Amino acid sequence: DAKTTQPTSMDCAEGRAANLPCNHSTISGNEYVYWYRQIHSQGPQYIIHGLKNNETNEMASLIITEDRKSSTLILPHATLRDTAVYYCIVRGHNYGQNFVFGPGTRLSVLP
C-alpha cells in the first residue's frame, strides 16, 4: 500500500471550508484514496473515497489531482462537531490489502 503524508494539525473557523491535504506520491493505478475521521476516542468513521475523479457526498468533497499524487478533503461549512483527526489512506482493490492508518491531521474547528 502507498504511504501518505498529512499535516499534523490544522485550524479552521466555524462556518468556513476546511481543506485537508494529503500527499500520496507513490500511489499506484489501482489504489483508491479513502478518508476517515475519528472524533475524540470514538471508532473511526468513513467519510469518502475516490479513484481518479472528484467525488462529493453529504459529508464532504474529495479532490484528486490529475496525476493522483495528492488529494484534498473539503468540508464545505465546518462546524464544531467536525473537530477530529482525519486520516487519508490509499488502498488497492486487490483482495488482501489491508487499511494502514497513519497519524492523520488533527483538525480543530474554532468558534
Partner 1 sequence: EAQVTQNPRYLITVTGKKLTVTCSQNMNHEYMSWYRQDPGLGLRQIYYSMNVEVTDKGDVPEGYKVSRKEKRNFPLILESPSPNQTSLYFCASSPTLAGGPGNEQFFGPGTRLTVL
Residues that bind partner 1 (CB under 8 A): 31-32, 34, 36, 41-46, 49, 51, 91-104
Instruction: Confirm if 62 and 50 have CB atoms less than 8 A apart.
Output: yes
Q: For cell 500520496, what's the residue?
A: 24
Residue closer to partner 1 by CB (options 95, 111) is 95
Smallest gap from residue 97 Cβ to partner 1 (A): 6
Rounded distance between C-alpha atoms, residue 83 and residue 92, angstroms: 28
Smallest gap from residue 96 Cβ to partner 1 (A): 6
- Which residue type occupies 52? K
The number of beta carbons lying within 10 Å of the beta carbon of residue 43 is: 7
User: End-to-end alpha-carbon separation of the chain, Å?
Assistant: 37
Residue closer to partner 1 by CB (options 23, 32) is 32
Smallest gap from residue 44 Cβ to partner 1 (A): 5
Residue closer to partner 1 by CB (options 17, 100) is 100
Instruction: Confirm if 86 and 4 have CB atoms less than 8 A apart.
Output: no
Residue closer to partner 1 by CB (options 14, 49) is 49
Smallest gap from residue 91 Cβ to partner 1 (A): 5
